[in-house]
Amino acid sequence: MLTDLGHLAVIFAFVACLYAALVSLLGAQRNDDRLVQSGRLAAFITFPLVLLGCLGLWYALLTHDFGVNYVANVSSLATPVFFRITALWGAQEGSILFWCLIMSAFVAAAMARDWEAAGDKPLLPYVTATMALVLGFFLFLELFLANAFVRSEFPPQDGRGLNPLLRHPGMIIHPPMLYAGYTGLLVPFAFCIASLATRRSDDLWLRSSRRWTLVGWAFLTAGLLLGARWAHDVLGWGGYWGWDPSENKPLITWLIATPFLHSAMIQEKRGMFKNWNVFLVMLTFASMFFGTAFIRSGLLTSVHAFAASDIGPVFMAALVIILLICAALWISRLDVLRSERQLDSAFSREGIFLVQNVLFLSTAFTVFIGTIFPILSEAISGTKITVGPPFFDQTTGPQLAALVLLMGVAPLLAWGKASYAAVGRQMLAPVGFALLVMVALFLSGSRQPVPLLLFGLCAYTLAQTLMEYVRGVRARMLSLNERLPVALIRLAQKNQRRYGGYLVHLGVVLLAIGVIGKGFYGYDTITTPAVKLNDSFTVGNYTFTYRGIRPVPCEFNDCQTVQAMLLVSSASDGRVLDAIFPYRDHYPLQQHTATIPAISGSFNEEVYVILAGWDNNGATASFQVYINPLINWIWVGGIVMLLGFLVSFWKVPERAPAFAPVMRPAGAAAK
Amino acid sequence: MMTSAIRACIGLLLVTWLIAGWAQAQVPAPDEPTYRIAKQLNCPTCAGRNLADCPTETCAQWKAEIKAQLDAGKSAEEVLAYFQDRFGPTVLQEPPKSGITAPLWAAPVGAAVVFLAIAGLVMWRTAQRGAPSPASDGTDAHDPFVAALEREVRAGE
């Protein structure tokens, strides 16, 4: 009953979207504020309606209503309450509904803001229409192509249970994060469309949507990191990133949204790159749409691709229509998007941002081509070529390294035209530090040239970024007589965007250190021959003693778990460090085997052990051992990146009024 | 009475244990040479993973095949060539830089070069056209506070 009510609410939400789009556009055309407000309200109520839909489905999941097909597919009597709640996004139909929920939350939040005070009321009808149409499209998918509310005539006694791979905290938070990231980036897109539709030439759309863009970007970043953590903990392939299509898709969007965040600054500060920003925000949106279409249509096989379905063609048709509308709108407004000034010099903040933007895009293109090549090759030659990690590592690696370098140079360059002497002077100390680090690493035995160079690069950028803080803090301490902590806090407060941004840069460098450490110094092996009971084997600095295998109760009683026991001791002095229990789950119902690693070692050197196999009830067993140096810096870097986001985003009361950027007359921003 | 119930429980537990043990009595794992080769091959059943990391049945057969060929005296290259002949280039983790996958490798390099060239051209052209403005002092003109601070720092240096 409640479930059917939820279904009805989703239908109403779809109708509300259509109404909102229609009435808003009509209101804009007739200049009738009542219609615009009506559309705004209609867009707003999609959130409670979709929420009601989700509550309906949650009710069915919690009450084991296996008459609902979706419930029978993603849960069983044995599924605990927590996973029955998260099962809402455990498969295609439910996850589209959940996607709609998050998107409608963003729509409602955008509608609820004080447009009058923000001074961007003229954009309202077009923002409403754009968002309502996009949300309406996803609701259309939910209702007509992947309906989670469909009931079967013969309900089964028990359900199939949640996909075993999805039973991990990382996998539970990861999809909501990614969805929030994508839908957050819908906001700047909608503002851009509205700006074009109203023939504006200023940066109002950028300033109005800036904080939304940041939120979208942060969610996307968090989603990517959690996905990586999940792959590391559950997939048992020893790493954190497998260049799987489902990982590449959000990465491509991230690689386009990040340069957008940077180039938006140029338009705000200098009135330049207007066309470029329109292009980037449209590309961000298109990449999100295209990626979702690809993963959800089952065109690509991936770790967690959704089952093949017929939503692919609908998605593609919608994408083509969206691109055509965008292109038409953009071309018809080229005359108003002229740059307010010219590039004075390539050696300037603008110049280096352009290089950075281009590098980001070529990296995104690289990931894109590698991801869709299987489909391209199949279409052209009939063979589906698989593109593995070696391709991505070799092609994106150099481009990402160049971006790390740019991160250490760009903050030094002034807007307009930078002086070589000033930049050179400021580079001296960090370059010296980098050389010192490289010499120290060389002396400690790291002789491979490439990682040595890359670590040097990271050291340089790290030092340079820290110097930005040092300079600012020192200035405050000298001129305002502030103590160090006060100076640091005030400095960040006075320019949150800037110092938050630098903190994100620091996070990226730390993350890069982890990537380089794992990539160049990581290694793995398999025990050969298999280890006999109570025998030992040594990998790197660690000696492992095999103490047998045993069956253990499976978490939800739907699998057979076999756990191995190993003692880890230091290879040099024999001291026992740890006992680890890698295990293997076999799910007969889903015909799925999962190898769950055991993790040990130190912060700087992770030991990752997988139970690879055994004979004669465990008389002998084999283990896959990965030594992952520095991998933990990836997680630390990720957390620092998100802290940086918080610093740039957090509203300090001192800087109020909320949601009301100081208005400048159109076009006067940078004059 | 009580003890017999406990005994029955223990008996039942033992039986389930044995059944579980029997079902999982053997999971063959590859040896190191096989593992090295398996790392370079794609698994037919685990999408997106290499053969060595995939725990499925089909993969176990492939690994057995690799081991058999190695035992028969074939070199690693010969084994890889065998798999490539049989299943095409799609079986390799790293697509070859020649043949059908050559464009794949060329595309990123081409894109980076073309994109950078376009950016360079744009900068060169605008720099040619625009009258150069005096070099700024490296400060952020739009944040007077920070600008003042930075000037002070420079003066202090």
Q: How many domains does chain B have?
A: 3
If you average pLDDT over residues B13-23, what whole number do you get? Answer: 48
Question: How many angstroms separate the CA atoms of B109 and A365, rounded?
Answer: 10
B102 within some domain? yes
B12 within some domain? yes
B149 within some domain? no
What's the half-sphere exposure (Cβ side, CA atoms, 13 Å) at A655? 15
Does one domain contain both B43 and B66? Answer: yes
Predicted interface score ipTM higher than 0.90: no
Q: Following DSSP, what letter does each residue of chain B receive, concatenated?
A: -HHHHHHHHHHHHHHHHHHHHHHTS-B----HHHHHHHHTBB-SSSTTSBGGG--SHHHHHHHHHHHHHHHTT--HHHHHHHHHHHH-GGGBSS--SSGGGHHHHHHHHHHHHHHHHHHHHHHHHHHHHSPPPPPP-S--TT-HHHHHHHHHHHHH-
Report yes or no: A584 at the B interface, CB cutoff 8 Å.
yes
Number of Cβ within 10 Å of residue A314's Cβ equals 17
**Quick check: B100 and A383 CB within 8 A?**
yes
If you average pLDDT over residues A16-41, what whole number do you get? Answer: 94
The B residues from 96 to 155 touching A (CB cutoff 8 Å) are 100-101, 104-105, 107-109, 111-112, 115-116, 118-120, 122-124, 126-127, 129-130, 132-143, 145-146, 149-150, 152-153
Residue A279 reports pLDDT greater than 80: yes
**Quick check: B146 and A351 CB within 8 A?**
no
Last residue of a domain, one of B76, B94, B112: B94
More confident residue, A299 or B36: B36
Residue A401 reports pLDDT greater than 90: yes
Segment of A66-80, A380-394, A512-526 carrying the highest mean pLDDT:
A512-526
For residue B42, list its beta bridge partners. B50
More confident residue, A283 or A302: A283
pLDDT tens sequence across A616-665:
888 999 999 999 999 999 999 999 999 999 999 887 655 444 444 444 44
If you average pLDDT over residues A117-127, what whole number do you get? Answer: 89
Q: List Cβ<8 Å contacts ≥24 apart for A500-503.
A: A500/A644, A500/A645, A500/A646, A500/A647, A500/A648, A500/A649, A501/A644, A501/A648, A502/A411, A502/A465, A502/A468, A502/A469, A502/A644, A503/A640, A503/A641, A503/A643, A503/A644, A503/A647
The three-class DSSP label of residue A445 is coil
B85 within some domain? yes
Q: Following DSSP, what letter does each residue of A606-624 receive, concatenated?
A: EEEEEEEEEEGGGTEEEEE
Report yes or no: A414 at the B interface, CB cutoff 8 Å.
yes
pLDDT at position A667 is 40
B112 within some domain? yes
Does one domain contain both B40 and B77? Answer: yes
Nearest to A356 by CA among A312, A403, A414, A426: A403
Nearest to A54 by CA among A186, A183, A176, A190: A176
Residue A440 reports pLDDT greater than 70: yes
pLDDT at position B96 is 85
Does one domain contain both B63 and B110? Answer: no
What's the half-sphere exposure (Cβ side, CA atoms, 13 Å) at A608? 28
Q: What are phi and psi of A614, to 5 degrees?
A: -160, 165
If you average pLDDT over residues A454-477, what whole number do you get? Answer: 93
Report yes or no: A497 at the B interface, CB cutoff 8 Å.
no
Lowest-pLDDT choice from A338-347, A547-556, B62-71, B112-121: A338-347
If you average pLDDT over residues A16-43, what whole number do you get? Answer: 94
Residue A2 reports pLDDT greater than 50: yes
Query: Could you give the percent of chain A with pLDDT greater than 90?
Result: 53
B75 within some domain? yes
Residue A164 reports pLDDT greater than 80: no
Q: Point out the residue among B32, B48, B111 whose CB comes nearest to the CB of A303.
A: B48
Question: How many angstroms separate the CA atoms of A468 and A665, rounded?
Answer: 32
If you search the block for the tokens 């000298």, which residue do you land on? A478
Question: How many angstroms separate the CA atoms of A461 and A409, rounded?
Answer: 8
**Quick check: A474 and B153 CB within 8 A?**
yes
Query: Could you give the percent of chain B with pLDDT greater than 90?
Result: 13
Q: Which residue of B has its CA nearest to A480?
A: B149
Whether B116 and B124 have beta carbons less than 8 Å apart is answered as: no
Question: How many angstroms separate the CA atoms of B19 and B17, rounded?
Answer: 5
pLDDT tens sequence across B61-77:
888 899 999 999 999 89
Q: Which residue of A has its CA nearest to B52?
A: A237
pLDDT at position A597 is 92
Number of Cβ within 10 Å of residue A621's Cβ equals 28
Q: Following DSSP, what letter does each residue of A104-172 receive, concatenated?
A: HHHHHHHHHS-HHHHT-GGGHHHHHHHHHHHHHHHHHIIIIIS-TT-B-SS--SS-----GGG-SHHHH
pLDDT tens sequence across A550-568:
988 877 667 888 999 999 9
Q: Residue A271 — very low, low, confident or very high, per pLDDT cuts 50/70/90?
A: confident
Whether A642 and A219 have beta carbons less than 8 Å apart is answered as: no
pTM for this prediction:
0.88
Report yes or no: A477 at the B interface, CB cutoff 8 Å.
no
Lowest-pLDDT choice from A25-29, A33-37, A356-360, B115-119: B115-119
pLDDT tens sequence across A312-333:
778 888 889 999 999 999 989 8
Q: Residue A167 — very low, low, confident or very high, per pLDDT cuts 50/70/90?
A: confident
If you average pLDDT over residues B110-128, what whole number do you get? Answer: 83
Gap between the terminal Cα atoms of chain A: 62
Mean residue pLDDT of chain A comes to 88
pLDDT at position B101 is 85
Q: Point out the residue among B28, B33, B104 whose CB comes nearest to the CB of A613.
A: B28
Q: Which residue of A has its CA nearest to B33?
A: A528
The three-class DSSP label of residue A510 is helix
Can you give the residue range of the structural domain that contains B16?
A: 1-29
Helical packing angle, A245-270 and A204-230, nearest 10°:
150
Does one domain contain both B25 and B35? Answer: no
**Quick check: B49 and A346 CB within 8 A?**
no
Whether A45 and A38 have beta carbons less than 8 Å apart is answered as: no
Q: Point out the residue among B23, B53, B90 whose CB comes nearest to the CB of A385.
A: B90
Question: How many angstroms separate the CA atoms of A237 and A527, rounded?
Answer: 16
Does one domain contain both B36 and B78? Answer: yes
Does one domain contain both B37 and B52? Answer: yes
Q: Following DSSP, what letter does each residue of A293-353 receive, concatenated?
A: HHHHTT-S--TTPPPP-THHHHHHHHHHHHHHHHHHHHHHTGGGG--SS----SSSHHHHH
Does one domain contain both B46 and B70? Answer: yes
Could you tell me the two tokens for A165? 């791979």
B136 within some domain? no
Does one domain contain both B87 and B105? Answer: no
Spell out a b/e string for B63-99, using b for 16 or more CB atoms within 10 Å of the CB, else e.
beebbebbeeeeeeeebbeebeeeebbbbbbebeeee
Query: Could you give the percent of chain B with pLDDT greater than 70?
Result: 63
Residue B1 reports pLDDT greater than 50: no
Q: Which residues of A touch B95 (CB under 8 A)?
A: 373, 385-388, 391
Q: What are phi and psi of A411, to 5 degrees?
A: -65, -20
Question: How many angstroms separate the CA atoms of A315 and A286, rounded?
Answer: 11
Lowest-pLDDT choice from A11-15, A593-597, A659-663, B95-99: A659-663
If you average pLDDT over residues A123-139, what whole number do you get? Answer: 95
The A residues from 384 to 403 touching B (CB cutoff 8 Å) are 384-391, 395-396, 399
If you search the block for the tokens 């930075």, which residue do you land on? B150
Could you tell me the two tokens for A35? 């219609």
B138 within some domain? no
Does one domain contain both B70 and B107? Answer: no
Whether A624 and A235 have beta carbons less than 8 Å apart is answered as: no
What's the half-sphere exposure (Cβ side, CA atoms, 13 Å) at B131? 0
A·B CB contacts under 8 A: 232
Does one domain contain both B39 and B3? Answer: no
Question: How many angstroms separate the CA atoms of A35 and B41, rounded?
Answer: 61
Q: Residue B21 — very low, low, confident or very high, per pLDDT cuts 50/70/90?
A: very low
Segment of A445-454, A506-515, B148-157 carrying the highest mean pLDDT:
A506-515
pLDDT at position B122 is 79
Lowest-pLDDT choice from A63-67, A163-167, B107-111: A163-167
pLDDT at position B153 is 61
Q: Point out the residue among A357, A551, A612 whose CB comes nearest to the CB of B20.
A: A551
Nearest to A360 by CA among A409, A411, A403, A405: A403
If you search the block for the tokens 């993973």, which residue do you land on? B49
For residue A537, list its beta bridge partners. A544
pLDDT at position B11 is 54
Q: Which residues of B touch A373 (CB under 8 A)?
A: 95, 101, 104
Number of Cβ within 10 Å of residue A504's Cβ equals 25
Q: Tell me, what DSSP letter sits at residue A495?
A: T
Does one domain contain both B90 and B39? Answer: yes
Residue count of chain A: 671
Lowest-pLDDT choice from A60-69, A492-501, A503-512, A655-664: A655-664
Q: Point out the residue among B32, B133, B143 whose CB comes nearest to the CB of A417.
A: B133
Q: Which residue of A has its CA nearest to B111?
A: A362
Report yes or no: B9 at the A interface, CB cutoff 8 Å.
no
pLDDT at position B130 is 55
Query: Could you give the percent of chain A with pLDDT greater than 70?
Result: 94
Q: How far is CA A229 from CA A3, A49, A163, A251, A294, in A?
A: 34, 34, 18, 15, 23
Q: Following DSSP, what letter does each residue of A563-621 receive, concatenated?
A: EEEEEEEETTT--EEEEE--EEEEETTTTEEEEE-EEEE-SSEEEEEEEEEEEGGGTEE
If you average pLDDT over residues A543-548, what whole number do you get? Answer: 94
Does one domain contain both B5 and B40? Answer: no
Q: How far is CA A437 from CA A125, A444, A446, A460, A632, in A?
A: 56, 11, 11, 9, 20
The three-class DSSP label of residue A525 is strand
If you average pLDDT over residues A256-282, what whole number do you get? Answer: 90
Question: How many angstroms separate the CA atoms of A638 and A232, rounded?
Answer: 15
Helical packing angle, A92-112 and A2-30, nearest 10°:
40
pLDDT at position A138 is 93
State the nearest Cα–Cα gap between B32 and chain A, in angstroms.
Answer: 6
Residue B144 reports pLDDT greater than 90: no
Nearest to B67 by CA among A530, A470, A234, A517: A530
Mean residue pLDDT of chain B comes to 74
Nearest to A538 by CA among A564, A570, A561, A563: A570
pLDDT at position A664 is 43
If you average pLDDT over residues A489-510, what whole number do you get? Answer: 92
Q: Which residues of A touch B136 (CB under 8 A)?
A: 414-419
Residue A439 reports pLDDT greater than 90: yes
If you average pLDDT over residues A32-59, what whole number do you get? Answer: 95
pLDDT at position A344 is 76
Could you tell me the two tokens for A114? 């004080």
**Quick check: A526 and B31 CB within 8 A?**
yes
Q: Residue A455 — very low, low, confident or very high, per pLDDT cuts 50/70/90?
A: very high
The B residues from 71 to 100 touching A (CB cutoff 8 Å) are 88-95, 100
Nearest to A282 by CA among A245, A331, A219: A331
Q: Residue A668 — very low, low, confident or very high, per pLDDT cuts 50/70/90?
A: very low
**Quick check: A551 and B17 CB within 8 A?**
yes
pLDDT at position A266 is 86
